[in-house]
Chain A
Amino acid sequence: MTYGNLATPSSGSVRRSGVAGGPQTANLADILERVLDKGLVIAGDIRVNLLDIELLTIKLRLVIASLDTARQVGINWWESDPWLNAQAADRAAEKSRDRHELEDENRQLRNRIEALESGERNGGSRSD
């Protein structure tokens, strides 16, 4: 998994990102996770608030948060977080889809190997 150019990190670095007045604008993800997810929740009388924002927050967190990353490193600090549970069904669906794709790919590869091994190399030019 690579994301563009991976810069070589300097060891033991602290990068300071200003959020105020500094030349650097605060990162959008930092702002969104704070203003949507936290902040005092009081339902206004314009009744868009709670439910819609919960849904929006869940959607955005899927974008902002890297669930794969979390699973990969086995971080579970926030697993008690209700939104993760709400997404469990979706993730299960996604996983099973991934598995189907893998199974398909495996089947195709197996077929190809069989074809190659049985000597059917019609017009195939072997490189190395």
Chain B
Amino acid sequence: MAGAVVTESSCVWIYAVADEAAPPFTGGPIGVGGGPARPLSGAGLTAIVGSVAPSEFGEAALRQNLEDLVWLERTARAHHEVIETVAKERPVVPMRLATVYSSDEAAAGMLRERAADLRQALTRLTGRSEWGVKARVTMSDDSAAGQQPETDGPASGSGAAYLRRRRAQLTASQDARREAVASAHAVHEELGRLSASARLYPPQSPEIAGQSGLMVLNAAYLVADDRAEEFGAAVTELAARHGALQLTLTGPWPAYSFTGQDETEDAR
């Protein structure tokens, strides 16, 4: 086995599964735990796996480490990077983070057992990629305050005038929110028409997303690769049509959001 030192006590981390008939995966990218990814065959499928130390990825250690956000970030990024690299060359079914087996034999056994599901997922994902679209709208009571229509002359400092002004601000900001949500619905519907399937995620908080504004759409779309350009153009067009929304397009992603479970194929 080229380069990979596989001791008997290593655990096997699975990144993704590909068809053996696809351009072969011979190993390469450094992944979780610092070791290289390598192929593992079974049932006509190739699992992209890595050997990981039980001291870090065994049952007890894994449970503890998953609670550590720094460890989790490092591991999630390493997992994602390997999948992203191998997905460029061939269709893959990405596995959820921390799918770990005790040995190559156990992992190959899973390939045999789940071969039908895996093939079905591969067929569905071949020639398609996931694209992420988020919509934000920047609004706050402060921004509404900038648009207050009139002041009541000398009396504008009074309590009643303040309350009136405040009510107008709140109404304006509620209207703006409603409008933003309606726009997000329209965007989602339109992009859904260009997609084989769509998934909604909860909105991300501004602190985590590293961007300001209220997120009103966080969605993933499974798009045929030959329609990717059309999809991108549609996002641009929708951004122009819904001027209040800032749209963010990410991708192409490995098709994490469309691996098959509770999947309703919705090719409109």
Contact = CB atoms under 8 A, between A and B. Distances in A.
A86 interface: no
Given A14-B235, A15-B246, A28-B73, 14 more contacts: A2-B140, A6-B140, A9-B213, A19-B250, A20-B84, A28-B77, A31-B76, A32-B72, A35-B80, A39-B97, A41-B96, A41-B99, A44-B100, A73-B216
Contacts of B205: 63-66, 69
Interface in B139-192: 140, 142-143, 177-178, 180-181
Contacts, number: 213
Contact of B214 (A30, A69, A77): A69
Contacts of A77: 200
Contacts of A29: 204, 208-209
A89 interface: no
B261 interface: yes
A52 interface: yes
A38 B257 contact: yes
Contact of B14 (A1, A44, A63): A44
A102 to B, nearest CB: 18
A39 B256 contact: yes
Main secondary structure of the interface of B (DSSP, over half): mixed
A34 interface: yes
A46 B102 contact: yes
B96 A33 contact: no
Interface string B6-46: 00000100100100000000000000000000000000000
A98 to B, nearest CB: 18
Main secondary structure of the interface of A (DSSP, over half): loop
A124 interface: no
A122 interface: no
A9 B246 contact: yes
Interface residues of B, number: 85
10 contacts: A6-B143, A7-B212, A9-B246, A12-B242, A20-B84, A38-B259, A40-B260, A42-B14, A48-B100, A73-B181
A123 interface: no
A6 B140 CA distance: 10
A96 interface: no
Nearest to B58: A46
Given A6-B140, A19-B252, A44 B99 contact: yes
A40 B255 CA distance: 10
Contacts of A12: 239-243, 245
Contact of A3 (B101, B200, B212): B212
A57 to B, nearest CB: 9
A120 to B, nearest CB: 22
A59 to B, nearest CB: 8
A35 B99 CA distance: 11
B250 A26 contact: yes
A16 B88 CA distance: 19
A49 interface: yes
A11 B155 CA distance: 36
A4 B211 CA distance: 10
